[in-house]
Structure 1
Amino acid sequence: MVVQVNGKSNELPENMTIAQLLTHFELDKKVVIVELNEMIIDKDHHANTTIKDGDKLELVQFVGGG
């Protein structure tokens, strides 16, 4: 399936969950806000929310600095 992640097209396996997507991009150990089709998905729902072909995701990480 093809989905957009942060504006770029990505080919991903079918039936991937948000939790699996974060592992795929090595973001599973970081604090990440996930927006799926313009809706923020609570972390408690990452494991059971399946991504579908054509979905648009935004992954936002917090970066420290000053």
Structure 2
Amino acid sequence: MMVYVNGDEFEIADSASLSDLVAKLTDDPRGMAIERNREIVPKSLHSETKLEPGDRLEVVQFVGGG
């Protein structure tokens, strides 16, 4: 199915969860925040939040440094 990640089309399996998406995007999900259809999804709900065709996701990875 097709979803949108940070404005770009992204293809993922039909039964994918937010956790599946995170695994495809990065090896290190620490510091990552995800908004699905304009609502922040807590990390505790990533594995049970199933994606739907056309979902719009904004993914932010916080980076430390100085």
TM-score by length of 2: 0.90
Aligned Cα RMSD in Å?
A: 1.3
Name the aligned partner's letter for residue 51 of structure 2.
Answer: I
Aligned counterpart, 2:46 = 46
Q: Aligned to 2:16, what secondary structure does the other structure show? A: coil
Number of matched pairs: 66
Name the aligned partner's letter for residue 22 of structure 2.
Answer: L
* Identity %, equivalent residues: 38
Gaps of at least 5 residues in structure 1 are none
**Structure 1 moving runs of 4+ over 3 Å:** none
1:30: how far off? 2.4
> Does 26-35 or 44-53 show the bigger shift?
26-35
1:11: how far off? 1.3
Aligned counterpart, 1:4 = 4
